[in-house]
Amino acid sequence: MKKLTFYSLMIVFSLMTLSCFDNSKPNYQFFPNMYESVGYSTYEQSDAFANGIEAQLPAEGSIPRGWVPYEYEDTNEGYELAKNNLMSPLKLSEKNIKKGKELYNIYCAVCHGPKGDGQGILMKREKFLGIPSYYDRDITEGSIYHVLMYGKNLMGSHAGQVNSNERWQISQYVISLREKLIK
């Protein structure tokens, strides 16, 4: 009888310890006020602002460091103007193209393909269709920059992911890809 109570107690105990272990909840902390400071941390929920989020938009009219103004509008005319007039401030160099390639493979190749022929993995898996090859499109550095800035048709703007310098580096690399395709 004693043995029986002992075993049942053991089982209850192990069940209790198991049930306390919950993957969807964070673990205990030792002195939590050293882990969580008084200052706001990134993306924190906070009552300090009206919408309850720590991550606020910058004040209207503020300009980020290193920001370059862009004068062309997001219209068909703006596209044509950018295509014909906009020139890259960067010099054509190995270093820029190499950086452009790195960025292209992160942000563009998933649709446009590593070679720029429109055969990216999303196209092959038919998530996106009709992605053009750079071969078929009459594009210039200016038009590539413009499209990266605003997006075009189904392509969204990538201005939030790459800054103006990086956009120019990608444009350089895309032009070099197109030259390879035309050859």
Partner 1 sequence: MEGKTILLKEFLNLFSNFRALRLLALNLALLLATSLSISSQEIDISKGKSLFNANCASCHKLNKKLIGPALKGVSSKYEKEWLYSWIKNSAALIKSGDDQAVAIYEEYDKVAMNSFPQLSNEDMDNILEYTDYTPPAAIASSAGNSSNVNQSSSSSFTNDLVLVLLLLVLAVLVTMLFLVTKTLKRLASDKGIEINEKKSSGTPIWERFIKNQFLVFVSVILLLLSSAYFAYGYFMQIGVDQGYMPVQPIHYSHKIHAGENEIECQYCHSSARISKHSGIPSLNVCMNCHENIADYNGEEDLEKGYTKDFYTNEIKKLYKAVGWDETTLSYTGDTEPVKWVRIHNLPDFVYFNHSQHVTVAGIECQKCHGPVEEMEILYQYSPLTMGWCINCHRESNIKVKDNDYYTKIHEELSKKYGVEELTAAQMGGLECGKCHY
Separation CA 51–CA 28 (nearest Å)? 29
CB of 69 to partner 1, least distance (A): 21
| Closest CB to partner 1 among residues 40, 87 | 40
Question: At 45, is the secondary structure helix, strand, or coil?
Answer: strand
Close Cβ partners of 170 (under 8 Å, ≥ 6 residues apart): 100, 103, 104, 107, 108, 144, 148, 162
CB of 24 to partner 1, least distance (A): 5
Instruction: Identify the CA nearest to 112 among candidates 159, 158, 168, 165.
Output: 158
| Closest CB to partner 1 among residues 71, 138 | 138
Question: At 113, is the secondary structure helix, strand, or coil?
Answer: coil
Beta bridge pairs of residue 155: 152
| Closest CB to partner 1 among residues 37, 62 | 37
CB of 55 to partner 1, least distance (A): 9
List residues near partner 1 by CB under 8 A: 23-30, 34-37, 39, 41-43, 45, 51-53, 75-76, 105-107, 110, 118, 121-122, 125-132, 136-137, 151, 153-158, 160-162
CB of 84 to partner 1, least distance (A): 15
